[in-house]
Chains A and B, each alone.
Chain A
């Protein structure tokens, strides 16, 4: 399966990056606008998300309803969301409609009309998104963990609070848009049955009049490391653990990724085997690599009934610490097959590929091809991973638990009882 990646950066700073997948009948796009929630002012937390909602409530010649109908008449399965760095717009469709769909998004990005009569409906939608988090206990624990680990800006959620979203005016929305929706740093990734030359011409015509804007200043907030308990009358205790990892762009990324694959990559992985299969402590347990642009974390989660939560936490911490002693040859062999198989399966979905290449371009300024990833995976050895693990043993755990009772935590010889 040959993989070709094309890219072009226009004068105003937009990058178009695309992978033709001629074996498909569909195509997808993923647009990353450098207007994520890290740019939300403290008093306006949630504004990037609110703007994302509002640019889709009328743009170009289309009103709110006509916009949705235009997408539906093209059969576009669309989505949008704000994230830390970017606001993302995506869509998948039959290949012939790709150019027309991008034409609609050229209006969304460059010519939103911000109709006043849509403001309160848009605000209510944002309120609903805040409310939705309240009932998702696993997400609440993990969200609090990210905030503690990365600090209040890099670890924030994009929804903001009822108070801050309530205070946002149409004027605020327009000025956030003016400042942050800009071509420089914007990525348009496409994948599927497409012709790059005509796509490049088309995107050039759609966005050529958009002028670059100055890069905004970003602030940071310090992390709040430690152990925290959120009291909640629930059936299970939700346990979330973080420790330092590496960014996707870091040269050690695949060493860490390999180690985490052994820890939590499949049904024979260590966490699944020790926590669920041998002890029956939970239904869900996992560890995963989380990445920001310049740093990363390993995030672990398990949900388990309250009376068994202490044992679950203890076993997970023990397994994490055991990683420092290294992995075995057969574990690495299984991991390699899994990663390669997963990469081939991803080639069946233009939506998945469009998202991946947009992410690669954002983090690396280029796209890792399948061959390159394959080579990186092949290069992994037990020795190289174990050397990495010995130098970077899992430690300095941040923990958030959510449930009726706090848990005891003892690691690295330091014990702490949660307040």
Chain B
């Protein structure tokens, strides 16, 4: 296993974990751009652009891009979030040169009008699809309530109206403001010929013109409150709760991740014993959402409408008792054991290593090996856990609930 990095003259970062023993190779472009970088007029443009990237270039039609990805037998996809857009493909090592050339080419899309209008319909279908799925817009509402006017409160998908209003021109000008090589990292993992990778990327991307995209990473002014969304034909009630958490650069995020596991893992956690083992909820969990400059921890409960008010009370009481009595050493040890095991399992997937490398670059620009990450989690102490609990009080939160209940209230 060898970690290699290189920066092209125009600022494009190349990072790879080269493992000659691996059977596959995974590659991805990680772009520091997402919903937080949009204005309300172009809400949803990052995600729509992610779709359009697969719609062809001056060198290829949309159909050709799909054909070539399939001809390599690649497992490829893309995703857009609040602050990142990621394009990735895993292939057998013999296809390294071909897939790197293809991914590089599609990163300079044509945005042809016909393709644009057809794909707009697909995006609208995607928005409608999520409208039919739990928690029925609850997450978007949560983000906008919790982050208030801060850009992190902006929706990734946008709305049918905002997406309908987008044009190839407005998308192109967004592209020209965000897709600078200095704002992009190319990450790879698996069986990789790194020297060839650098040579190829220099050939395909070396002529991309650099500029300096800007992003405000001012810490959000987190909002608290209680919001009820009425969804009469939903069977279950969905409760989302967000409290402040560490940003992606704060050291305390590791202790917070362990804390999330202790309180909200899908097995053996506080929420598990309170809500799942007892059958009081269908699902319950807690996880961290860390961004540049801001962060949150979100608690999620899905239960029957009849049980919802009582569960809100139980959750508040549980948070209170955790605050007053803290976490035990035994809980910490079990959580660490579990995390160590997850790290080993995840490290065996080439794709997951590629994501780890790219995501580390997105948030902090420093690289940690699997062993280093495992060692950091292993070193988390009970004091650090309690420090995280004190720094990010769970009972100061924004709650959004969605479902058939009309009269839910915040617990006392």
CB < 8 Å: which of B66, B75, B302, B340 contacts A268? B66
B326 within 8 A of A: no
List the B residue with the shortest CB-CB distance to A23: B21
A9 within 8 A of B: no
The distance in angstroms between the C-alpha atoms of A77 and B268, with both chains bound, is 11
Considering residues B234, B342, B344, which has the most beta carbons from chain A within 10 angstroms of its beta carbon?
B344
CB < 8 Å: which of A126, A236, A333 contacts B132? A236
Question: Which chain A residues lie closer than 8 Å to B349 at the CB level?
Answer: 348-349
The distance in angstroms between the C-alpha atoms of A120 and B277, with both chains bound, is 11
Query: Are A345 and B90 interface neighbours, CB within 8 A?
Result: yes
The B-contacting residues of A in range 100-146, CB under 8 angstroms, are 120-129, 131-132, 134-137
Considering residues B126, B131, B268, B341, which has the most beta carbons from chain A within 10 angstroms of its beta carbon?
B341
Question: Which chain B residues lie closer than 8 Å to A121 at the CB level?
Answer: 277-279
A203 within 8 A of B: no
Question: Which chain A residues lie closer than 8 Å to B233 at the CB level?
Answer: 232-233
With A128-B279, A283-B122 as given contacts, are A344 and B70 in contact (CB-CB < 8 Å)? no
Query: Are A342 and B277 interface neighbours, CB within 8 A?
Result: no
The distance in angstroms between the C-alpha atoms of A279 and B114, with both chains bound, is 11
Shortest A240–chain B CB gap in Å is 14
Considering residues B66, B117, B125, B282, which has the most beta carbons from chain A within 10 angstroms of its beta carbon?
B125
Query: Are B21 and A338 interface neighbours, CB within 8 A?
Result: no
Query: Are B70 and A338 interface neighbours, CB within 8 A?
Result: yes
With A277-B62, A279-B118 as given contacts, are A1 and B334 in contact (CB-CB < 8 Å)? no
A171 within 8 A of B: no
Shortest B131–chain A CB gap in Å is 4
Quick one: CB contact mask for B95-129 with A, threshold 8 Å, 1 for yes? 00000000000000000000001111110111011
Question: Which chain A residues lie closer than 8 Å to B236 at the CB level?
Answer: 131-132, 134-135
CB < 8 Å: which of A134, A233, A305, A339 contacts B235? A134
List the one stretch of A62-70, A291-299, A384-392 in contact with chain B: A62-70
The distance in angstroms between the C-alpha atoms of A46 and B76, with both chains bound, is 38
The distance in angstroms between the C-alpha atoms of A78 and B267, with both chains bound, is 9
The distance in angstroms between the C-alpha atoms of A345 and B122, with both chains bound, is 29
B71 within 8 A of A: yes
The distance in angstroms between the C-alpha atoms of A183 and B267, with both chains bound, is 28
B213 within 8 A of A: no
Quick one: CB contact mask for B18-52 with A, threshold 8 Å, 1 for yes? 00010110000000000000000000000000000
Query: Are B334 and A73 interface neighbours, CB within 8 A?
Result: yes
CB < 8 Å: which of A137, A272, A283 contacts B125? A283
The distance in angstroms between the C-alpha atoms of A321 and B410, with both chains bound, is 56
B134 within 8 A of A: yes
List the A residue with the shortest CB-CB distance to B281: A128
With A68-B267, A72-B334 as given contacts, are A349 and B279 in contact (CB-CB < 8 Å)? no
Query: Are A305 and B345 interface neighbours, CB within 8 A?
Result: no
The distance in angstroms between the C-alpha atoms of A58 and B259, with both chains bound, is 27
Question: Which chain B residues lie closer than 8 Å to A72 at the CB level?
Answer: 267-268, 334, 337-338
Query: Are B234 and A135 interface neighbours, CB within 8 A?
Result: yes
A288 within 8 A of B: no
Question: Which chain B residues lie closer than 8 Å to A132 at the CB level?
Answer: 236, 282-283, 302
With A94-B344, A282-B122, A283-B122 as given contacts, are A123 and B132 in contact (CB-CB < 8 Å)? no
A365 within 8 A of B: no
Question: Which chain B residues lie closer than 8 Å to A222 at the CB level?
Answer: none
A303 within 8 A of B: yes
The distance in angstroms between the C-alpha atoms of A304 and B338, with both chains bound, is 40
CB < 8 Å: which of B73, B132, B345 contacts A338? B73
The distance in angstroms between the C-alpha atoms of A20 and B339, with both chains bound, is 24
A250 within 8 A of B: no
Question: Which chain B residues lie closer than 8 Å to A31 at the CB level?
Answer: none
Question: Which chain B residues lie closer than 8 Å to A77 at the CB level?
Answer: 338, 341-342, 345
B256 within 8 A of A: no
CB < 8 Å: which of A122, A273, A277, A338 contacts B279? A122
Shortest B199–chain A CB gap in Å is 25
Query: Are A68 and B73 interface neighbours, CB within 8 A?
Result: no
The distance in angstroms between the C-alpha atoms of A340 and B71, with both chains bound, is 11
B91 within 8 A of A: yes
Shortest B234–chain A CB gap in Å is 6
Considering residues A269, A337, A339, which has the most beta carbons from chain B within 10 angstroms of its beta carbon?
A337
The distance in angstroms between the C-alpha atoms of A68 and B118, with both chains bound, is 50
Question: Which chain B residues lie closer than 8 Å to A136 at the CB level?
Answer: 133-134
- Interface magnitude class on chain B: 35 or more
A265 within 8 A of B: yes
Question: Which chain A residues lie closer than 8 Å to B91 at the CB level?
Answer: 341
A267 within 8 A of B: yes
The A-contacting residues of B in range 327-353, CB under 8 angstroms, are 333-334, 337-338, 340-342, 344-345, 348-350
The A-contacting residues of B in range 216-239, CB under 8 angstroms, are 233-236
Query: Are A278 and B118 interface neighbours, CB within 8 A?
Result: yes
A326 within 8 A of B: no
A164 within 8 A of B: no
Query: Are A283 and B129 interface neighbours, CB within 8 A?
Result: yes
Quick one: CB contact mask for B146-164 with A, threshold 8 Å, 1 for yes? 0000000000000000000
List the B residue with the shortest CB-CB distance to A134: B235
Query: Are B132 and A137 interface neighbours, CB within 8 A?
Result: yes
Quick one: CB contact mask for B271-309 with A, threshold 8 Å, 1 for yes? 011001111111100000000000000000011100000
Question: Which chain A residues lie closer than 8 Å to B90 at the CB level?
Answer: 345
A172 within 8 A of B: no
Question: Which chain A residues lie closer than 8 Å to B345 at the CB level?
Answer: 26, 77, 92-93, 351
B252 within 8 A of A: no
Shortest B89–chain A CB gap in Å is 11
B198 within 8 A of A: no
Query: Are A68 and B348 interface neighbours, CB within 8 A?
Result: no
Query: Are A282 and B267 interface neighbours, CB within 8 A?
Result: no
Shortest B283–chain A CB gap in Å is 8
List the A residue with the shortest CB-CB distance to B125: A283
List the B residue with the shortest CB-CB distance to A233: B233
Query: Are B23 and A347 interface neighbours, CB within 8 A?
Result: yes
The A-contacting residues of B in range 43-82, CB under 8 angstroms, are 54, 62-63, 65-67, 69-76
CB < 8 Å: which of A24, A26, A92, A280 contacts B121? A280
A75-B340, A135-B234, A345-B75 known; 12 new pairs, CB 8 Å cut-off, are A75-B342, A124-B279, A131-B235, A132-B236, A135-B235, A236-B131, A268-B67, A268-B69, A277-B66, A280-B117, A305-B125, A347-B23
Chain B contacts to A: CB under 8 angstroms: 21, 23-24, 54, 62-63, 65-67, 69-76, 90-92, 117-122, 124-126, 128-129, 131-134, 233-236, 267-268, 272-273, 276-283, 302-304, 333-334, 337-338, 340-342, 344-345, 348-350
> 27 A-B pairs, CB-CB below 8 angstroms?
A24-B348, A26-B345, A68-B267, A68-B268, A73-B337, A77-B342, A94-B344, A121-B277, A125-B276, A132-B282, A137-B132, A137-B133, A235-B131, A267-B76, A273-B66, A277-B118, A280-B120, A280-B122, A282-B125, A283-B129, A304-B125, A334-B71, A337-B71, A338-B73, A345-B23, A345-B75, A351-B345
| Top 9 A-B residue pairs of the complex, sorted by shortest distance between their CB atoms | A124-B279, A75-B341, A341-B73, A280-B121, A134-B235, A337-B73, A267-B66, A128-B282, A266-B70
Chain A contacts to B: CB under 8 angstroms: 1, 23-26, 64-65, 68-69, 71-78, 92-94, 120-129, 131-132, 134-137, 232-236, 238, 265-269, 272-273, 276-284, 303-305, 333-334, 337-342, 344-345, 347-351
